[in-house]
Every structure is written in C-alpha cells, then in structure tokens.
Amino acid sequence: MRARSGTWTEDLAAVGMSDPVDPRLEDLPVPVSRRRKRGWPSAVWIVPVLAVVAAGALAIRAYLEAGPTIEITFDSAEGLEVGKSDVRYKNVPVGKISSVELVPDQPRILVTVKLERGAASLAVKDSRFWVERPRIGVGGVSGVGTLLSGAYIGVDRGTSKEQVDQFVGLEKPPGLTHDQVGRRFRITAADAGSLGVQSPVYLRRQQVGWISELALSPDGKRVDIEVFVNAPYDRDVTDTAVFWNASGLDVSIDASGLRLDTQSLATVVAGGIALGFRDGDPPGRPAAEGAQFNLFEDRAHALARPDRTRLPLAMRFHEPLRGVGPGTQIDFEGVRIGQIDTLNLGYDAIRHQFFSDVDATVYPERLGAAYAALVDEGKRRDKAGPEMLQALVARGLRAQLRSASLITGQLFIALRWFPNARSAAPVVERDGVWVVPTERGGTDQIQDQVESIVAKIDRIPFDAIGGDTRDAMHAATSLLGHLDRDVVPTAQQLVGQAGAAMTALRDSLGALRDNVAAPDSAIQQTARSTLEQLESAARSLRGLADYLQHHPESILRGRASGSEPR
Amino acid sequence: MIRGVDLQLASCHGCELVIRMRDVDHDAIAVCPRCGAPVRFRKRNASSHVLALVVAAAALYFPANALTIMYTEQFPERRADTILSGVKFLWGRGSWALAAIVFTASILVPVLKLGALGFLVISTIRHSAWRPRARTRLYRALEVVGHWSMLDVFVVALLTAVVQLGQFARVSPGPAVLPFAGVVLLTMLASASFDARAIWDLDRGSGRGGYE
C-alpha cells in the first residue's frame, strides 16, 4: 500500500510540521542525501507465497502418498498390533495397520490397513493377504524374522485390474504367489503319501518346483495335486514326462533282492515328487499350463515302459502258495514278464483236493525281439496267439512256483520248459483267459526232500541203539570183573616164574661173555688170526688190481719182466 | 507524548546517531552521516514485512506438525514420529518433564509466537490505541523466547548425528524438519522486522500514520 511511498519529506508533510523547533535541535547532524535507486516492489510477499506453495505441495504429496485403505478379515489376528504391524510385499513395508476390530456377528477379525500410495496396485481383486508368523512345516521353517519383528501381513499382488478394498485373508501363506514365473501342472494320485503343500518337485534330483496345492478330489477317491515348476525348468516338463512319488525311503524286497531308493534326505522327511522321462520315449513338446499327469507310486513303476499288449493268464496250482500274492513276479527265461493279480483258494469236490487258482497278467512285449520273432512265426504258420501258446505248452512250457532266494524266502512263478512233462494238457480258455498248466514247484520239491531226510532220520531207532550200547557196557563190566578175579593171580605166578627165568638167562649170558668177549679167549684168538690172513690176502689183491690197471695187456701177454706190481 | 518524528528527528538503525531530517531532496534518501546506513523514521514497510513472514510461517506450521519429523529405528522396531506423536510417546513412557519441554518448545511457543506477532502487526497497521505499553512488553517477551524455538531442530540434528548404530539404532530426520525450521526462522525474521516504535504511532489524524 505504501511500499512505494516515500521520501521523508512526504513523511514530514504527513506529520504536519508547523511549530517552531527548539533551536538546539539545529545543532544535530543532518543526513546526507543520496540518489534514490530505482525502487523495486517489495519482494517480501514472495516469502509467504513460497511458503504456502511449499506447504501445499507437502500436503498434496502427503495426500497422494496416502494410498487406499483396505479391510481384510482374518480368523485370527494373533500378533497384529495397531500402528506397529505393517503390511509387507516381498518383505518391503507397504502399509500400516490402522485398526483391528471384531466383525459384528462373525467370529472373525477385521483389520483395516492403510496402504502407501505406491502400493495401491496391491488392492486388486485377486490379491491375497495372510498373517506371516513363524511356522515350522515339513518344507522347512518360515517367518523366523517375525519372531523378533512381530507378525505382519504378507501380501501377494494379484494380476487383476479391478480395484477392491475388501479382502478375506488366508490363514496360511499361499503355496504359490502370482509373481513366480513358471507353469502349473495337475497330477492325480491314488493317495497323498507324505506329500504336502510346499513339498519339493525334483528333476534329476534337482529341485525345480514344489507342490502348490493338494486336495482330495470332489468324490474323495483320488488326490488332486497341483505342482508348480519354476521357469526355466517348466519347459523341461514335456507331455511324455512321468511323475512319481519320491517320498521317504523306497525299500523293496523282491526276486531281484533288496533295493533302497531316495531322492534326497529332505524327501525322506518332507516327501516330494520326482519327475523324469522313460528311456526311449520321444522328447515330446513342453506340456501346457495345467496339463494333467498321473502320479506313479515309485520310480520303477514310472519308468517302466508302458505295456500295450496284455495277456491275461490263469494257472492252477495243487500245492500251497504261501508267500505268493498279488504282485508276485512271473518270470520267463529270466525276464520279468508279468505279475500275479489275484490268488484264490479253490476246492475240488470230486478229488477232495484244495488248489490255488492264480490270475496273472503277462506283458509279452517285454520279451522284446523274441516276442517279435514269435509273432512273425505265428504269422508265417498262420496261428493266432492261443495256438502259439498251445504250441509252446506242447513243447513243455509249464508254470512252476520257484524260490528266488532261500534267505528272503521270496517266491516267483517261472514259465519253464519241462521237456519230459506229462502229456500236454490242452490250453483252455476260461472267460477269455488262457490257462497254463503247472508243474509242482521247485520249492515244493526241496521241501519234500528235506521232509524225506527228516523222516529217515526219524526212522533211525535211537532207543534200540541206546539199549544195545548199555548191554555191551554191562558185558564189558562183567568181563573186567572176571579178569580181576581169575587172571590176576595166574599173572602174578607168571611174573614170579619170569623173574627166575630172567636170572637164568642172565647167568647164561655171563658165561657167554666170558667165552666170547674176553681178549684171550679161543674164539678171539682164532678170529684175529683169520682177520690178519684176510688182510694180507686183500693187500695182494690190491696190488694185482693196480698192476692190471696199469698193464691191462698183461692179462693176455703175461707180466712184463722188471715190472713189479706196486 | 512528543515523538522524535514530530521534531523531525530520527535515529540511525546502524549506529543509533540522532539525526535531524532536513535538507534532503525529494528524490533522494537520507543517509546517516556517520555510518552511511539509510536513515528513516521507521523501518521501511515493517508491518507489511512482518505480516508476510507471519503468514509464511503459519503456512509452514501445518506440514511441520503433520509430517514425520524423526524416524527412529531401534531394532526391530521402526518408528516414524511427528512432533505431537513424539510428545505422546514421551508422555506415555512417563517422561512427563521431557514431554512438557518438547510440547512447549515445539508446539506451544511457535503457536503463541505466531499469534502474538499477528496480533502486534495487525494492531499496529490499524493504529490501535489499545494498551501500547502491554503490547511493547509482549514484543520484548517474544524476542527473549524466540532464542529457544529451534530446540526441536537441534534435537533432531543432534540425534541424527549421534545415534547411528548401524542396524540396531538409527535416527534420521523426517520431512517435517525443513518446514519446522522454516517456521522458526520466519518467526525470528518477523519479530526482527517488527518495529516496536510503530506501536506508539497513535496517529489519530491522517489515518496513514506511518513514519517509515
């Protein structure tokens, strides 16, 4: 208003200067005049304008940063605190809990959350919220951080565009969040085993995914499992892939011995699904999202080639089949070509005999090239399958129960050749099933032999033998008594006589020594002279021999003169 | 009561020299012969200045109180406090004295200061004759109290510098610190700009009354 007004002269005028002034005032210093610079409008009002703009900007920013307020209902608000617990997306705080209250008429808790502006995109229709707490599950321990920081609300951002502000919270973290890249596949299993949500999925013993959902099928007959396979491994899941339950230890004892199989130590505890491919299957195309698979009970079943040709067989055994049951192998020339499906005990009212009817399934394709050759032969001879089987039976093919291992007692049924078998019973068809004649089993024979050995041992008259032995001992005792009584005195006499005889003998020997061994005895004298003569004779002979050696011609010519034998 | 201006006397703002205001051209300004500062009967546009600064301070007062002034991270907790919530927190912890100090220094004093300055400047503009002596005393009191109004800013600055224990405890200033500092600064400037002499310009005649 008066910003530009201004010089002091005007001010003076305003005051209405009139009265004469005190003359002493004349002595006061007077100001110096200076040229007025060009006046600017007062800039001071820029300050409040700036301040208002700044405050307004802060207010607008605060308003904009205040994201949407949403309401979530939970079964339990354990650990949630107003003003302290926050909402976290990927562990980043995106909002605060502003109130926790009861839902009227419902046993639920209503949690009001103020989201930050940047997190507004979390408030869409398919977002999911859950309370993150420490959890110990089969797949590991989660939410340990919340032990110190307190519970918080986790959120999984949905993909929908529809903004909503009311949600129903989950009680558990979801198995699969929207931001994970990969594919989901559906697997149908006969039972869940020890599988659970978060159980791992392995490909070549490398974890590539996990179970995201697991629930009974609506009819309760199967278990529907949804697995999630992470990118990029999801492309490895082709339509020829097979899944099997890799939970726990797979211990199997069968005709091939004891086998122990596991994917990893974790699966022993937590369970898991393994994924693989059968040898010889085509590579296949990557399976589509949501593709359907079956869960095999173990690796062996999963990786076994699917058997296209199934040949049901029936066998009747007239021997006890203890240790045989569904699943028992059927072996042909060492190849496991099938297994027993059912086993029924029957009674033959005519012969008053029990027997066992065995139904089995044989997969002839497992014979490989041999089966192809057989089929070829059948075609050449224009014989159909049963006739071929008839021919094989005519050549002595029989089913026989055999023992694979005496230690485990594992049994199997072998289709073997018995060239000397009884005349071939014709292969009969019963309800479309071909009945193969049987032969008494090897196991049975062994048992029979053992039994007969036991029977023979049993027949040995151990009692009688014992009695005889006792009699013999009695006889021996009486014999000894007799000896003691009759023989000993005689023996004593004999000893006395023997002593006298010995004395006489010693005397004789003394005389003999006197006669023979004394140096001056006649025998000695005679013997010495004889020996001396023998010695001179030997000396002569030696001279003769030497001479002859040097002069062999002397034998013919006589002794040369002047040469004496030396 | 006769005033200096009535006798054409002014005092230099720079060196307090009393000057007789005469022999100055219409187009010129008067300059103190001793120190060279411009000489006026009253501070130039004082009321306008003060009013502008008070309005600005008032505008900043709202964000200063509504926004977070201090973040404290004390593992595992992270707090974001406005001034008022900080006072509440201190009060709740039983530190009543501290809460009272912070409340007085950070909330009450700025409000009172803004109110008082506003009252002074408006009454001055209107040449109110209402108890000029009391108003002058009020102004003096404002000058004394004003020295302490930066307390909050100092607290935040000090804590930020001192409490930096990595993950365990950390204090960082929030967005309200700048508006708050602005409030304090502007009120200080406003009270400095205010010319207490104008309280006594009880000009009953011209209706203008300014001796700037």
In a domain? residue B209: no
With respect to residue B211, please indicate whether it lies within any of the assigned structural domains: no
Q: How is chain A split among helix, strand and coil, in percent rounded to 5?
A: 35, 30, 35
- Give B55's contacts (C-beta < 8 A, 6+ positions apart): A48, A51, A52
Distance from CA of A221 to the nearest CA of B (A): 49
Q: Name which of A7, A25, A32 to mutate to probe chain B: the one with the most chain B Cβ atoms within 10 A of its Cβ.
A: A32
Instruction: List, in order, residues 6 or more apart from A253 with CB less than 8 Å away.
Output: A259, A408, A410
> Distance, in angstroms, between A27 CA and closest chain B CA?
9
Q: Same domain for B24 and B108? A: no
pLDDT at B203 over 70: no
- Among A9, A42, A62, whose Cβ lies nearest the Cβ of B66? A62
Q: State how far residue B112 is from chain A, nearest Cα, in angstroms.
A: 19
Instruction: Tell me the one-letter amino acid at A349.
Output: A
Contacts of B212 in chain A (CB under 8 A): 2, 6, 11
Strands (E) in A118-266, as ranges, are 128-132, 135-137, 140-142, 152-156, 166-168, 182-189, 200-203, 206-216, 223-230, 241-245, 250-254, 257-261
Q: Residue B63 and residue A59: Cβ atoms within 8 Å?
A: yes
pLDDT (average), residues B39-46: 78
Query: Smallest Cβ distance to B175: which of A8, A22, A58?
Result: A58
Contact flag A51-B56 (C-beta cutoff 8 Å) = yes
Same domain, B47 and B26: no
Confidence at residue B125, expressed as pLDDT on a 0 to 100 scale:
85
Give every residue of chain A whose pLDDT is below 70, as ranges: 1-22, 36-42, 137-141, 248-250, 252-256, 261-267, 269-270, 307, 384-386, 405-409, 421-432, 441-445, 560-566
Going by the DSSP 8-state scheme, the letter that residue A456 receives in this structure is: H
- Dmax (CA) of chain A: 213
- The reply to whether B160 and B179 lie within a common domain is yes
B61 in the same domain as B35: no
Give the gap in angstroms from C-alpha B10 to the nearest C-alpha of chain A.
10
Cβ of residue A84 closer than 8 Å to a chain B Cβ: yes
- pLDDT in the model for residue A562: 60
Q: Which helix H or strand E contains A113, and what residues bound it?
A: strand A109-116
Same domain flag for B69 and B120: yes
Q: Does A44 touch chain B (CB under 8 A)?
A: yes
Same domain, B37 and B97: no
All residues of chain A having their beta carbon less than 8 Å from the beta carbon of residue B10 are 8, 31
For residue B207, being part of any structural domain is answered with no
Q: Are B57 and B12 in the same domain? A: no
Taking a C-beta distance cutoff of 8 angstroms, is the pair B190, B60 a contact? Answer: no
- Asked if residue B121 lies in contact with residue B194, where contact means CB atoms within 8 angstroms, the answer is yes
Q: What is the number of domains present in chain B?
A: 2
Using CA atoms, how far apart are residues A26 and A9, in angstroms rounded to an integer? 17
Q: pLDDT for B112-141, tens place per residue? A: 889 999 999 998 888 888 888 899 999 999
Whether residue B12 sits in one domain with residue B99: no
Q: Which residue of A has its CA nearest to B180?
A: A55
A515 at B interface, C-beta within 8 A: no
B142 and B75 in a common domain: yes
Residue A540: the pLDDT is 92
Check whether residue B101 and residue B167 sit in a common domain. Answer: yes
Q: Are residues B99 and B147 in the same domain?
A: yes
**8 Å CB contact between B19 and B11:** yes
- From the list B7, B19, B26, the residue facing A9 with the nearest CB is B26
Task: Name every residue whose Cβ is closer than 8 Å to that of residue B61 and which is 6 or more positions away in sequence.
Answer: B110, B111, B114, B179, B183
**Domain boundaries, position B176:** 43-200
pLDDT number for residue A539: 93
pLDDT of the residue at B138: 92
Please tell me whether the overall predicted TM-score, pTM, comes out greater than 0.80 for this model: no
Q: What is the pLDDT of residue A300?
A: 77
Residue of chain A whose Cα is closest to the Cα of B76? A149
CA distance linking residue B44 with residue A2, whole number of Å:
10
- Tell me, what amino acid is at B29? I
Q: Chain B neighbours among A 138-177 (CB < 8 Å)?
A: 148-150
Determine phi and psi for A160, rounding to 5 degrees: -70, 160
Do B114 and B34 sit in the same domain of this protein? Answer: no
ipTM of model: 0.76
Q: In this predicted structure, what is the pLDDT of residue A473?
A: 93
Residue of B nearest to A45 (CA): B52
The minimum CA-CA distance between B9 and chain A, rounded to whole Å, is: 9
Residue A137: per-residue pLDDT? 64
Q: Do B28 and A15 touch (CB under 8 A)?
A: no
Give the model's pLDDT for residue A329.
84
pLDDT at residue A428, as a whole number = 67
Confidence check: pLDDT of B82 > 90: no
A309/B72 Cα distance (integer angstroms): 75
Write the CATH number for B90. Answer: 1.20.140
> Each residue of A472-501: pLDDT tens digit?
999 999 999 888 888 888 888 999 999 999
Nearest CA in chain B to A2: B45
Question: Cβ contact (<8 Å) for B56 and A17?
Answer: no
